């Protein structure tokens, strides 16, 4: 048989054996994606029919050449027939290339549309979606499943149309030449199909096992080769055990590869043998008919050539449902992500944050983190079923107001709800009841772009992308010029460091910024905040994990970041918030105390308890607790002194 026929046959028998029923809704949605390309689809179908006609014409002309030679007819006729065969071959090649271009362009356009749709949709998902989803599983939807869906147009559609047209035409011509030989040739079809299906299921199992091992190795490499993962392995891992486990999986993939190669070889060899037997039948029976005078010699040759174009389309169409179902599965997995509704939607008539100074206000806010079934998919978490239980209430009637230009500090135990409060302001989550307002307007009434332009946030993670310093800064303000970038770096006390790097602003910071120290990463995120020039600033443990030297540099940068801005500051280190205009003590989702530093200490409540606990290691019993200052208090510069306030330890 021809090479292309064997390739088609191999693709069919090794396809995934998914036997789920057709989903009409899925088919309708596929039609919606294909509708903009219907003109090219029609052109493709017509070209497939023309190509099938040309494919059948060549064997018939070859038979005519044989008859002309045997009959001793005009040599010119033989030459003309040969030239016609050559012209048809050229036309078939040209149409084949054009047909392939149409199917490939349809498939690639589909990939573009699906990937863009999924990417845009995922960007609209809440933070809870990303905290639950495995990144690798989500990326797989954008890669493997989208490509699987593409095959529905680039391979499956082209295969079904061309095979169906070729089969009908070939059968019609073969029956017209000799119905007896055609029927006998069809009786050999089960000898093709039965071993093909059995061998195909075995090869599919091997390929699935190899894919599982490759996925496990990929996940392991992704985790171990990231900067934090590599550090953890070096500190606590056992390199020998890591290598042994990886090598065991790699050897299993190697063994499967050898077995698959041998199975494919045995399969092709067996089918080639059956093909040879079928050809022997055609030549033997056809030759007997020719000698008996009931069949022309050219017809025998035409039947033999047509036979090579019969089995592959028959087998491929027999397995077409498998290919179609495989494509439908990929479409369904993509649509599954697209059907997951974002919890946070922007209203069509969303407003902009009012101009001028902005206040931050919470009014009787209650909030519980959403259950898994509302924000995630079991397949993306790689669990059998999602947890449908609702989360416990994290915030219980929180109310406060940060006036324009005022600094409000949130302190309290870990897990008290401080970071949750911070995440509600930029609308990473929405409150279940009550209201969160910016400039007097509920954040649910504001446009996302307006909120981003108004509010900046620095977290303790100080996350950076694996890109240049310039690219990480321009996230805040893409139109910023060189002078603005260097000004932000100077105000963040980072300009000298960046200037000393070999590529300056174009230096790549490494995955998550690991080529920079913790303090340098934090100052770079603060520079990004300064570049954005937002009116409201949220600092969520911005200095929690820094040493004293790094903290001092970051605090100097924060002096600039908070000047004349409304600020909400979350801190475990109470030394960093004592000069705040208002301190809120959060415990168990409630504000249990509020006031200035001195007032809260005098009240001798939870704040005083936290303060004494933090500074107990720095003071002997009976000695006064040392005074500390807030370097980034508005109106102060890094070198100004603050009059210390001495507080007793008891």
**Residues 6 or more apart in contact with residue 540 via CB below 8 angstroms:** 418, 419, 422, 457, 458, 459, 460, 570
Crossing angle between the packed helical segments 482-491 and 518-532, to the nearest 10 degrees: 130
Q: Which residue has the higher pLDDT, 494 or 196?
A: 494
Is the pLDDT confidence value at 446 over 90? Answer: yes
What per-residue confidence (pLDDT) applies to 397? 93
Residue 640, pLDDT > 50, answer no
How far lies 37's CA from each of 44, 76, 119, 267, 409, in Å? 11, 47, 21, 38, 57
User: Which of the listed ranges 299-308, 495-504, 547-556 does the model predict with the highest average pLDDT?
Assistant: 495-504
Nearest to 365 by CA among 426, 448, 424: 424
**pLDDT at 514 (0 to 100):** 60
Angle at 425 between CA 421 and CA 426, to 5 degrees: 130
pLDDT band at 169 (very low <50, low <70, confident <90, very high): confident
- The pLDDT tens digits of the residues spanning 14-40 come to 444 444 445 677 778 887 877 888 888
Does residue 537 sit in helix, strand or coil? strand
Query: What's the pLDDT band for 631 if we cut at 50, 70, 90?
Result: very low
Q: DSSP string spanning 351-401?
A: BPPPSSS--EEEEEEEEEPPPHHHH--HHHHT-SS---PPPPEEEEEEEEE
Residue 277, pLDDT > 70, answer yes
Average pLDDT over the chain reads 78
For the chain, which residues make up each domain, given as ranges? 3-338, 360-371+401-595
> Exposed, middle or buried by CB within 10 Å (0-12, 13-18, 19+), for 243?
exposed
List pLDDT tens digits, range 249-272: 888 888 888 887 787 777 667 667
pLDDT-based confidence at residue 323 (cuts at 50, 70, 90) = low
pLDDT at 127 over 50: yes
Q: Which CATH architecture has domain 360-371+401-595?
A: 3-Layer(aba) Sandwich (3.40)
pLDDT at 405 over 60: yes
pTM here is 0.66
Q: Pick the more confident residue, 467 or 197.
A: 467
Contact of 256 with 209, CB cutoff 8 Å? yes
One fold for both 3-338 and 360-371+401-595? no
Q: What pLDDT does 645 receive?
A: 34
632 pLDDT higher than 90: no
Report the relative pairing of strands 590-595 and 393-402 from DSSP bridges. unpaired
Residue 435 has pLDDT above 60, yes or no: yes
Q: 265-274, 368-377, 470-479 — which is least confidently predicted?
A: 265-274
Confidence of residue 154 (pLDDT cuts 50, 70, 90): low
Cα distance between residue 639 and residue 631, in whole Å: 9
What does the pLDDT read at residue 639? Answer: 36
pLDDT value at position 352? 92
- 443 vs 135, higher pLDDT: 443
The domain over range 3-338 is classified in CATH as 3.40.470.10: no
Determine the Cα–Cα distance for residues 286 and 295; give it in Å rounded to an integer: 7
Please determine, for residue 389, whether its predicted confidence score (pLDDT) is greater than 70: no
Interior angle at CA 461, CA 458 and CA 464, nearest 5: 85
């Amino acid at each position: 048989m021809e090479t292309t026929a064997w390739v088609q046959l191999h693709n069919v028998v090794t396809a995934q054996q998914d036997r789920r029923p057709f989903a009409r809704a899925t088919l309708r949605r596929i039609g919606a994606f294909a509708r903009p390309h219907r003109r090219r689809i029609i052109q493709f179908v017509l070209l497939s029919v023309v190509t099938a006609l040309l494919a059948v014409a060549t064997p018939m002309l070859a038979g005519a050449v044989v008859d002309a030679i045997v009959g001793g007819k005009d040599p010119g006729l033989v030459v003309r027939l040969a030239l016609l065969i050559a012209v048809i071959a050229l036309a078939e090649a040209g149409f084949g290339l054009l047909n392939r271009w149409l199917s490939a362009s349809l498939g690639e356009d589909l990939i573009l549309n699906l990937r863009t749709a999924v990417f845009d949709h995922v960007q609209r998902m809440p933070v809870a979606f990303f905290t639950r989803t495995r990144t690798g599983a989500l990326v797989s939807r954008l890669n493997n499943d989208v490509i699987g869906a593409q095959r529905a147009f680039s391979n499956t559609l082209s295969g079904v149309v061309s095979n169906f047209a070729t089969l009908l035409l070939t059968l019609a011509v073969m029956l017209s030449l000799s119905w007896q030989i055609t029927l006998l040739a069809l009786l050999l079809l089960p000898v093709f199909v039965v071993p093909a299906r059995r061998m195909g299921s075995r090869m599919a199992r091997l390929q699935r096992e190899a894919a599982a091992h490759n996925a496990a190795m990929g996940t392991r490499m992704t985790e171990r080769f990231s900067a934090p993962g590599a550090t953890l392995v070096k500190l606590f891992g056992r390199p020998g055990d890591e290598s042994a486990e990886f090598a065991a999986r790699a050897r299993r993939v190697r063994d499967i590869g050898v077995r698959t190669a041998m199975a494919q070889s045995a399969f092709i060899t067996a089918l080639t043998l059956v093909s040879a037997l079928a050809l022997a039948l055609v030549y033997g029976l056809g030759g007997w008919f020719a000698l008996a005078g009931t069949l022309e010699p050219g017809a025998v040759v035409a039947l033999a050539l047509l036979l090579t174009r019969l089995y592959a389309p028959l087998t491929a169409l027999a397995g077409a449902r498998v290919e179609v179902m495989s494509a439908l599965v990929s479409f369904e997995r993509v649509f599954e992500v697209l059907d997951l509704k974002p919890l946070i939607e922007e209203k069509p008539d969303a407003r902009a944050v009012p101009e001028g100074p902005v206040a931050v206000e919470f009014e009787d806010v209650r909030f519980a983190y959403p259950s898994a079934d509302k924000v995630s998919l079991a397949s993306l978490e790689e669990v059998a079923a999602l947890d449908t239980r609702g989360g416990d209430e994290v915030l219980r009637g929180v109310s406060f107001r940060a006036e324009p230009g005022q600094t409000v500090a949130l302190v309290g135990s870990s897990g008290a709800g401080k970071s949750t409060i911070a995440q509600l302001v930029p609308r990473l989550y929405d409150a279940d009841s009550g209201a969160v307002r910016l400039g007097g307007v509920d954040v649910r009434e504001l446009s996302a772009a307006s909120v981003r332009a108004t509010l900046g946030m620095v977290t303790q993670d100080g996350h950076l992308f694996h890109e240049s310093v310039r690219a990480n800064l321009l996230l805040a303000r893409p139109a910023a010029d060189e002078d603005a970038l260097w000004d932000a770096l100077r105000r963040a006390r980072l300009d000298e460091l960046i200037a000393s790097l070999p590529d300056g602003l174009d230096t790549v910071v490494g995955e998550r910024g690991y080529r920079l120290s913790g303090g340098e990463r934090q100052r770079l995120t603060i520079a990004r905040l300064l570049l954005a020039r937002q009116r409201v600033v949220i600092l969520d443990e911005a200095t929690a994990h820094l040493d004293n030297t790094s903290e001092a540099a970051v605090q100097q940068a924060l002096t600039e970041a908070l000047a004349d801005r409304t600020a909400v500051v979350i801190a475990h280190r109470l030394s960093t918030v004592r000069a705040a205009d208002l301190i809120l003590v959060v415990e168990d989702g409630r504000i249990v105390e509020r006031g200035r530093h001195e007032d809260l200490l005098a009240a001798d409540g939870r704040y005083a308890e936290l303060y004494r606990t933090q500074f107990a290691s720095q003071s002997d019993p009976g000695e006064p607790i040392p005074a500390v200052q807030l370097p980034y208090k508005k109106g102060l510069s890094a070198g100004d002194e603050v009059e210390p306030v001495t507080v007793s330890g008891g």
